Amino acid sequence: MPRSAPCAALASALALAMPLSTAQAQEDLAVAIKASSCNACHGPGGRSEAGIPPLAGRNADEMFRAMTDFKSGTRAAYVMHHHTRGYSEDELRAIAAWFSRQPTQGKR
């Protein structure tokens, strides 16, 4: 076997692994960007300190249900029905999951 074969095998393995991690990082970034519109009211990373409920660390399924209820109009809201209408159900689910993974304390 030529000396370059192990290097080629390693390079191939890395090339296969890289797109997956890069794709996941890009997806996480895309969701974080969508979720950033929530920061104005719910605080950075969903860690509000005011009267608005924090989102960080909350149950993703509960947040998704609340957002779909806002979107459908079955849950009353001052502005949330406007915000949620701009997202698909898949996007709302991804945003809820993103907030559920955020620490409840820490950097703002």
Tens of pLDDT along the chain (108 residues) come to 455 555 555 454 545 554 557 877 888 888 889 998 898 899 989 999 878 899 999 999 999 999 999 999 999 988 999 999 999 999 999 999 999 999 997 654
pTM across the whole model: 0.74
- CB count within 10 Å of CB 70 equals 20
Q: How far is CA 82 from the centre of its chain?
A: 19
User: Which of the 8 DSSP states describes residue 85?
Assistant: T
Please give the domain boundaries of the chain with CATH numbers for all domains.
4-100 (1.10.760.10)
As a dihedral over the C-alpha atoms of residue 85, residue 44, residue 102, residue 19, rounded to 10 degrees, the angle is 80
